[in-house]
Amino acid sequence: MARKTAFSLNAQVRKLSKIGLACALSLTALVSNGCTSGTSSDTTAKKMELTPAMKTALGPDDGYAFALMYGADLGGSLDDCGCHAHPMGGLAWRMSYVDAFSSMHSDVPALQVDAGHVFADTMDGNSMLFPDSVERNKWILKGYDKAHFTVANISFREAPYISELLRKNDYPSRVKEFPFLERMVSANVRTSAPDLMAPKTYLVEEVNAKRAGKTVRVAFTGVTSGGTIPTSTGLTLADPVESLKQLVPEMRTKADIVVVMAYSLPPDAEKVAAIPGVDIVIGAQNGQGGMETKKIGNTTLVYTFQQTKQLGDLRVYLTPDGKVKEFKNHFAALDKEFPKHETYAQMVKDAKDSVEAAQRAQSGTQGVIPAGPTSNNPAGVPKLPGTN
């Protein structure tokens, strides 16, 4: 079955029945303020044989209708953390968890969400992105598209690379090469250059919550703070709270649940959670914020685990008449308790080979994309294990 997606300047709407191992099932078209565009092939994941350890990691089935699986801070790496004592994280283990979830809950959709800092932003002394950073980011876009991620937040750390992808003169070809680009959103990253496309401000997913016999509309947007964007990118940062106060009322008219991804330090994430009309805030920035679920007014606030070594799994519960009842958060360690998914393990290997080739080629050279002052490149951007 083909997938169709509707796009508009400020929002895009997609009909989602179920995200499985690396696919979206039963997707049909919805058009809202835009034209229909884009198709992809669907495949069906084989049912996984679950071990007792996997079942424990997945947690009990207490009647939730669907799940939001979230993470952040990959920094351009699809691989695990490379930790010698206890390797964790990475797309291969993440998608194995998704496969296990689908095997255990064939009637429960799961949406894949990234709250920010998905791209590498390492730069040279001339404030240019290194070729290996560019190569990493291409593989991130390929991986997220193949795994049918729902959405990713554009943080200040995405700016050096995404500004190149947003150039109007070759934007259609970029989207053709990297379809997931159309699923990266921000409420407060703005363009200041006439030759750049404006980032999409939000998207809406329609989720077939089979257990409730209801279609639930989930709107996603993102904000970022706590950093700066190089002026050379042609992008600027608006105030996140004020941007959301203007945008959320529109989102509420189109959705049953409003989700904000906030790549911000905890105090700023809490300000976002206090905005009326927001149901869920997914906070992120290098694992700060902890694993505790907070309630601020009517808003549920959760935080990502550093480098997504543990995957956030926020379960959504509905009343018998299909209204939102509550949210419960769950963390699952992405490690050897799950077999690495073969397809994505091969993708990780291909990405590492490609990055290493770029590093060999760039030896003694400068970067390739202007990216502003190096002061905007915080230390500690994760490297793919096995690279220099």
pLDDT tens sequence for the chain (388 residues): 233 333 333 444 554 444 443 333 333 223 232 222 222 223 345 688 999 999 999 999 999 999 999 999 999 999 999 898 999 999 999 999 999 999 998 899 999 999 999 999 987 777 788 899 999 999 999 999 999 999 999 999 999 999 999 999 999 999 999 999 999 999 999 999 999 999 999 999 999 999 989 999 999 999 999 999 988 899 999 999 999 999 999 999 999 999 999 999 999 999 999 999 999 999 998 889 899 999 999 999 999 999 999 999 999 999 988 889 999 999 999 999 999 999 999 999 999 999 999 988 877 555 555 433 223 333 333 333 333 3
Domain that holds residue 145: 12-35+51-376
Supply the CATH number for residue 69's domain. Answer: 3.60.21.10
Q: What is the pLDDT of residue 47?
A: 80
Contact 383/355 with Cβ under 8 angstroms?
no
Longest Cα separation, the chain: 64
Query: From CA 97, how far away is CA 341, in angstroms rounded?
Result: 9
CA dihedral sign, ordered 282, 286, 288, 293 = positive
pLDDT of 321 reads 82
Residue 341 lies in a domain: yes
Does residue 6 sit within a domain? Answer: no
Q: 283 in a domain, yes or no? A: yes
Predicted local confidence at residue 29, as pLDDT = 29
Question: Is position 321 within any domain?
Answer: yes
What tokens does 177 get?
């090469």
Residue 118 in domain: yes
Neighbours of 171 (CB within 10 A): 16
State residue 123's pLDDT score: 79
Q: CA-based angle 170:163:71, to the nearest 5?
A: 115
Tokens of 72: 């952040």
- How much is the pLDDT for 339? 94
Determine the pLDDT at residue 368.
52
Would you state the pLDDT for residue 318? 94
Between CA 276 and CA 260 the distance in angstroms is 12
Asked, for residue 385, whether it belongs to a domain, the answer is no
Q: How many residues does the chain have?
A: 388
How many domains does the chain contain in total? 1
Q: What pLDDT score does 36 carry?
A: 25
Other Cβ atoms less than 10 A from the Cβ of 17: the count is 19
Is residue 2 in some structural domain? Answer: no
- Among 154, 188, 217, 199, smallest CA distance to 275 is for 188
Asked if residues 304 and 314 have their Cβ atoms less than 8 Å apart, the reply is no
Amino acid at 204: V
- Look at residue 366 in the predicted model and tell me its pLDDT: 52
pLDDT tens figures, 314-324: 999 999 888 89
Does any domain span residue 44?
no
